Amino acid sequence: MQKSNKQMGFFERYLTIWVFICIIIGISLGHWFPKTFQTLGKLEVAQVNLPVAVLIWLMVIPMLLKIDFTALTQVKQYWRGVSVTLLINWAIKPFSMALLGWFFIRIVFADWLPSEHIDSYIAGLILLAAAPCTAMVFVWSHLCDGEPHFTLSQVALNDFIMIFAFAPIVGLLLGLSSIAVPWDTLFLSVILYIVIPIIIAQLWRYYLLKSPQVLQRTLDFLGVLSLLALLTTLILLFGFQGQQILSQPLIIAMLAVPIIIQVYFNSGLAYWLNRQVGEVHCVAAPSALIGASNFFELSVATAIVLFGFESGAALATVVGVLVEVPVMLSVVKIVNKTKGWYEKA
């Protein structure tokens, strides 16, 4: 496992550490320069915060630039693994997260959380689980010797489905959780942070494919830029959230509980279902990882647009970023160590 971790980029490998650093920086800057953060928060056009919009595009477009939508033609070769992953991603994960959020946030931890943010925390958890991961799953798949063509085709299919399914699923689950759904803002988020970035990324990819070396150099550069944009967004978020976190420092730990449980639940279910349908391990392993991981860049962006910088929803999505790497690496370790058990089926 140690050797495999070296295949991850330096920034990705220590993402959890960078997030902790952003927490410290953001809270400190928010305490020292509150007026600056208030000014940034008011830079809006049609309910869209301009600094965040730029940062989100810098996060999302490099992720989508890696996706080759021609890989959709390969989906039928891995129909069993694809079917399992689609079931987990779109029919189980968002709903299981909504249930876990309701149970832990509204019941188990309700007495220790600010009552005015309970609904917002649940909304953030729903947003986190409503879209499957786009970029980091390539790292997880590589670390578990996953079939690269399956991973690419599955991610391309998920991104295509996300254009049409993200808003309805989020709207449905927010409504079931008795949370007001700002449909116009939700659809605006889909257009801004899914549809337009996909179009830009695919046109740019088509141009760059004329020189594969240029494409790879562009991806390497944008990968670092994307992570820096994510970290900058986190600093802004914690700048606004600082006082709330300082007054109740256990908020992050309590929000992490349902997120961690849903990762292990959905990855384990996907892994087991692939075994039941007779899929090979090199497909089952990335299927489990894709089934469990979240497109946290999109969830952060949508939470900010729908509920604002200072909302519990924004904070809940950020906690997803915080736990992503260590939890997913543990899932990688589990599927690698159980390969012998899996293949005895």
Write out pLDDT tens, residues 52-70.
Answer: 788 888 888 887 888 888 8
Which pLDDT score is estimated for 189? 83
Highest-confidence range of 3-12, 214-223, 239-248, 331-340, by mean pLDDT? 331-340
Confidence of residue 203 (pLDDT cuts 50, 70, 90): very high
Number of Cβ within 10 Å of residue 223's Cβ equals 18
pTM of the model: 0.84
Distance of alpha carbon 282 from alpha carbon 294, whole angstroms: 21
109, pLDDT greater than 90: yes
Which pLDDT score is estimated for 46? 62
Tell which wins on pLDDT, 9 or 311.
311
User: Could you tell me the two tokens for 11?
Assistant: 């920034």
2, pLDDT greater than 70: no
The dihedral through the CA atoms of 255, 25, 140, 210 has a sign that is: positive
Mean pLDDT for the chain overall: 87
Confidence of residue 12 (pLDDT cuts 50, 70, 90): low
**Span of 29-38, 74-83, 141-150, 277-286 with lowest mean pLDDT:** 29-38
Tell which wins on pLDDT, 14 or 20.
20
183-190 and 296-307 are packed helices; what angle lies between their axes, rounded to 10 degrees? 150
Q: How far is CA 263 from CA 210, 212, 271, 288, in A?
A: 39, 35, 12, 10
Which pLDDT score is estimated for 1? 36
Domains of the chain: 2-343 (1.20.1530.20)
Which pLDDT score is estimated for 259? 96
Quick check: 169 and 30 in contact, CB under 8 A?
no
Quick check: 159 and 67 in contact, CB under 8 A?
yes
Write out pLDDT tens, residues 251-270.
Answer: 989 999 999 999 999 999 99
Tell which wins on pLDDT, 291 or 35.
291
Distance of alpha carbon 61 from alpha carbon 222, whole angstroms: 9
224, pLDDT greater than 90: no
Highest-confidence range of 37-51, 99-113, 289-303, by mean pLDDT? 99-113
Number of Cβ within 10 Å of residue 182's Cβ equals 15
Q: What mean pLDDT is predicted for residues 141-164?
A: 92
